[in-house]
Amino acid sequence: MDSLSGGLTALIVIAVIILIVLVANIKIVPQAYTYIVERLGGYHATWETGLHFSIPIIDRVSKKINMKELVADFPPQPVITKDNVTMQIDTVIFLQVTDPKLYSYGVDNPMKAIENLTATTLRNIIGDLELDQTLTSRDIINSKMRSILDTATDPWGIKINRVELKNIMPPKEIQDSMEKQMKAERERREKILQAEGEKRSAILVAEGEKESAILRAEADKSAAILKAEADKEAQIRRAEGEAEAILAVQKATAEGLRMLSGVDVTSQVIKLKSLEALEKTADGKATKLIIPSDMQNLTGIVSSIKEAVKE
């Protein structure tokens, strides 16, 4: 009886141990991760996301690989430009594992290998550029580095998505010289803008004066034309008035002659009119008035005029 209970206890213990071992070899691979499984020391399988079982002692998970995009920020690397300027360049690489098996067995310590490859590639590219080109050609450098690194890391199961030059640090004396140059360039641009502003202002003032002079000349011309037209109109009206006055005098004279021709003018009336005419002739200004001794002669003249009017 004791041996039976002892055997049963042993079986229970063995069963518990087996259960623990089985549970310990149940593997759950989380999202965005991949497990590399080796069997008896060799590559066996690549586990994707989900539930997996491994054989105790025989199988083991050799590497857990993150399949998300990774960011590798490497420390600044010393490089020398074509014009022999030494500077420090800090690079950032965005990469992603595309083949877990190649990533595990392609190269020892892939991130260290990428760092060294980045440094050598950067030195080769910067060595063909001068300082000014290096500072102004970041996009070109990034594109070249991405292409070279992507080709080199393809056997390692790694995809290089982007390469960025985070910081370019020239020597202190070069930075001081560049700052002075930039300051001089800003001052030059400021002077140019100021000169252009003054030039524009002078042009606007000159155009304003020109337009003002043109307007004044047009106004003077218009005033002269209006004055000439007014003078002309006044002269025409004066001439018309004088003509009308002369015409009225002529009409009155003719009317008077017609009236004389129709009236029997006596010698006394003629003499009286003659005296009135002499009075008008003197106009009060003459100191002497000579009267003909023979008024009959004057009467004869008037008679002749009368006869002429009748005809």
**Mean pLDDT per 10-residue segment, the chain (311 residues):** 68 83 85 93 91 88 92 90 88 94 90 92 91 86 93 93 89 77 83 88 88 86 85 83 78 68 54 55 51 50 48 47
Q: Are residues 286 and 245 in the same domain?
A: no
Into how many domains does the chain fold?
A: 4
pLDDT digits (tens, 9 = 90+) for 197-206: 888 888 988 8
User: Which residues span the domain enclosing 134?
Assistant: 70-170
Look at residue 306 in the predicted model and tell me its pLDDT: 47
> In this structure, are 10 and 100 located in the same domain?
no
| Shared-domain flag, residues 74 and 164 | yes
Residue 310 has what pLDDT?
Answer: 47
Q: Has residue 11 been placed in a domain?
A: yes
Domain presence at residue 102: yes
Residues 154 and 81 in one domain: yes
Q: Domain check: are 154 and 201 in the same one?
A: no
> 19, 47, 66: which is the final residue of a domain?
66
Is the residue at 142 inside a domain? yes
Position 277 scores a pLDDT of 54
Residues 162 and 78 in one domain: yes
Domain assignment of residue 176, yes or no: no
Give me the pLDDT at residue 247, please: 79
CATH number at residue 85: 3.30.479.30
For residue 43, what pLDDT is reported? 92
Whole-number pLDDT of residue 161: 94
Which pLDDT tens digit goes with each residue over 42-64?
A: 999 999 999 998 888 888 999 99
Query: Do 193 and 221 share a domain, yes or no?
Result: yes
Domain boundary (120, 135, 170) is at 170
The number of CA neighbours under 13 Å toward the Cβ of 100 is: 21
Query: What is the pLDDT, as a whole number, of residue 267?
Result: 54
What is the reported pLDDT for 122?
Answer: 92
- Is residue 272 domain-shared with residue 243, that is, in the same domain? no
Residue 234 and residue 305 in one domain? no
Distance CA 122, CA 110 (A): 18
Across the strands, what pairs with 12? Answer: none
For residue range 10-20, what is the model confidence (pLDDT) as tens digits? 788 888 888 88
Residue 56 lies in a domain: yes
Residue 290: the pLDDT is: 52
In terms of domains, do 153 and 140 share one? yes
In angstroms, the CA 90 to CA 170 distance is 12
Kindly state whether residue 274 falls inside one of the protein's structural domains. yes
Q: Alpha helix locations (H) across the chain?
A: 2-24, 100-105, 110-126, 131-136, 138-153, 172-261, 267-282, 295-310
Q: Give the whole-angstrom CA distance, residue 131 versus residue 109.
A: 34
Give the number of other Cβ atoms within 10 Å of residue 127's Cβ.
11
Counting residues of the chain whose pLDDT is more than 90, the rounded percentage is 29
Give the per-residue pLDDT at 20: 84
Residues 220 and 244 both lie in one domain: yes
Asked whether residue 131 falls in the same domain as residue 160, the answer is: yes
- Is 177 inside a domain boundary? no
The pLDDT value given to residue 158: 94
Q: Do the beta carbons of residue 39 and residue 57 sit within 8 Å?
A: no
DSSP secondary structure letters along 44-85: EEEE-SEEEE--TTTEEEEEEEE-S-EEEEPPPEEEE-TTS-
Which of 66, 92, 109 is the C-terminal boundary of a domain? 66
59 belongs to a structural domain: yes
Q: Is 168 left (phi over 0), alpha (psi -120 to 50) or beta?
A: beta
